[in-house]
Structure 1
């Protein structure tokens, strides 16, 4: 396999940059740049780096060597910790590029090699990608737990139990006349039912993990001139939306990302809901209604003279009476605020933080974070259901075994144990180069 190299830290001016090399040529890369052998594994050595062709000094920094398989990628890995100036990084990369036994890495190639060398399963790979992209504390905790193997261990545990059940079923098929414990297939029923219940409970999670990974969607809805855009600006603490006394100013859905108690929130300001004037405003109202329908939470805003009866509200909505500075009065279950003065904003933020974060308290089991996990689990559950039905109906052991085999394969595809070649390009393409 070719030896690859890439800048592993973010490009741009910095105090320190790290260049990583992975593959059989990692030792040679060190000797070419430093004129000395690689240091002992996992021990940093201070070296001067020189252009192998001209001998010109490039920089002075640290070299580390990780001998495979005890490295991130499972191969020999070299790391060059250099000063992070653009010219220094460019010179080092240029010299590595001139070495005919190296080539530049593709996006995610270091992590892909870690997967192919058994250092990580696919759920851990996806956890690493989520950790890199994490914007809030709750996202970081969930991603780190997944990267460290919690989700993969859960699925592999279920798969091991399935393989044991499958072995029993196949023993009855393959050795019907041999001295094996009698009625093996009938004894599988309780195990299959228990496993089915565990997977069903895991699937019945309200999509908490996916919502935490992608962010909770909160839509601000209400009539025109209720102060929705002003409220969004207050919550965002910046002038994100245009504010005007003219009705219908907001024509499209405007989004702002917030961090509320570690939970990522996408706050959406929508067009005022009224009988629209003109095709553009009609489209804005249509989009507002669509966004309000799919939102995880809704803030329904009313104001004096702009519709004060909350007819748009539904169960679970946060009801806000805006413009308390102009005489707005908040009744029972309604939060009074003034987007102009900031009055009541702390109370609104506290309720929003509580509602957005309530679903993400520590869970006994790791959460499903991707649609492909959910699809694989649903396929596994369906196969288990068929196996259980076949057992109760007294059907042939071959039918039970086939459904157990399909269930195990569905779990195996989630972690990367079987039939995942077509998934790899999709999973790794979103990684940055150098990871």
Structure 2
């Protein structure tokens, strides 16, 4: 393979996690990949492409380092689009350090930066930016829903949607520019009406995606639930019960929880971030006051509030907690085993769940209700690929704004420029235009070797 002028050097890195394992993979990509393999194996003949071959790795003195497998993927039919070699070695720290040292000693080779293999794949046209981001999401996926969303995006579902919009927009722009360039051609008025009809349809479709309640981002980052309520209502005990571990300190002393305590759960295959917050009351001192401020802030930011009332005080209800009960709240009454709480209590005209964290009464119903709520808000009803990152949302919002401005422009030249701006905004999502400044941000959080 001829050296890529964009990437004249060859990179290498472990492609598996560090630590003791049965197998460790070292990936090499670049114009000197085959030469690097040859140097490691004392010039042994290279195996056929995409065929695993047994190799004996030796050091500069010919001393054996390991006995493993090697696979070659000549350009352009490789992950990065360059010549790629993968070494499948025994997964000990000693073997990995020795091989990495031998590679580092070869001229023209260097250790890869985080995400550099994937960045080269993007720059060599093997994937677009949405697929590169999906690969990072798949590596980080902790739940079945996150895995499904990442795989769908890796398969190009979001890219195809964006490209469909962009193709329709470019077509409308081309027709519109014909009106500007050939004003004396007596083009039929219905042709111009068709252009604006296409623009209106694009605005409607894109706006629907922008108004999806950030479903894709919530699924990727986690659905946030804040537990709120008065002191000693059992919020920390409830958090521990749902997490099935002692994540928060439990005490009879009011005001024990001063800061927000987060735990990560898997509810029905969806990632959930559950937050225990300080008890809501008039603060006695500055530290507790700050904890209550943070509790209210988290409650306002949460996707769902779990409002916990103290059943021991029934029917008295805490006014601070009542002020945060709305359509984004699920109401529970704890300590139902100690008080005369009705079997089907209501709070502020809303049905509540009676439960006892101590005895486990009602916990199964609560868990089922939480799972149902999260699933209903994240599952989505259209089946269309979701926007999974804030940068997707910003670019799409810029596109809609430009299309709206084009529709209201006083001069056709201004409308044409707005349509071009809209097309450029869409192109930034997949990486077709103006993305150099985004690449470092997108790839810096990848793991080494990917």
TM-score using structure 2 length: 0.92
1:329 equivalent in alignment to 2:333: no
Give the Cα separation in 2 of the matches to 1:400 and 1:284: 51
Give the Cα separation in 1 of the matches to 2:265 and 2:383: 27
Aligned position for 2:397: 378
Greater shift after overlay, 276-285 or 28-37?
A: 28-37
Task: Select the residue among 391, 409, 427 that pairs with 1:412.
Answer: 427
1:211 equivalent in alignment to 2:218: yes
Give the Cα separation in 2 of the matches to 1:316 and 1:109: 42
1:359 equivalent in alignment to 2:377: yes
Task: Select the residue among 309, 316, 325 that pairs with 2:317.
Answer: 309
Aligned position for 1:43: 51
Give the Cα separation in 2 of the matches to 1:37 and 1:73: 24
- Structure 1 residue 268, shift from structure 2 partner: 0.7
Give the Cα separation in 1 of the matches to 2:282 and 2:177: 67
Aligned position for 2:443: 428
Indicate if the aligned counterparts of 1:27 and 1:37 stay in contact, CA closer than 8 A.
no
Superimposed CA distance per residue, residues 49-108 of structure 1 (whole angstroms, 9 cap, x where no aligned partner) = 111x11111111111011111111011100000010100111111111111121111111
For the residue of structure 2 that corresponds to 1:326, the secondary structure is: coil
Indicate if the aligned counterparts of 1:66 and 1:78 stay in contact, CA closer than 8 A.
yes
Indicate if the aligned counterparts of 1:300 and 1:310 stay in contact, CA closer than 8 A.
no
Give the Cα separation in 1 of the matches to 2:313 and 2:72: 68
Ranges in structure 2 where 5+ consecutive residues have no aligned partner: 1-7
1:344 equivalent in alignment to 2:328: no
Q: Give the RMSD, CA atoms, in angstroms.
A: 1.6
Q: 1:185 to 1:315 in 2, by over 3 A?
A: closer
TM-score using structure 1 length: 0.95
Aligned position for 1:8: 15
Superimposed CA distance per residue, residues 324-364 of structure 1 (whole angstroms, 9 cap, x where no aligned partner) = 23225241422121111222111110001111111222542
For the residue of structure 2 that corresponds to 1:325, the secondary structure is: coil
- Structure 1 residue 399, shift from structure 2 partner: 2.1
Ranges in structure 1 where 5+ consecutive residues have no aligned partner: none
Give the Cα separation in 1 of the matches to 2:326 and 2:178: 57
Instruction: Tell me the matched-pair count.
Output: 429
- Structure 1 residue 314, shift from structure 2 partner: 2.0
Greater shift after overlay, 234-243 or 26-35?
A: 26-35
Superimposed CA distance per residue, residues 278-314 of structure 1 (whole angstroms, 9 cap, x where no aligned partner) = 1111111111111111111111111234464364222
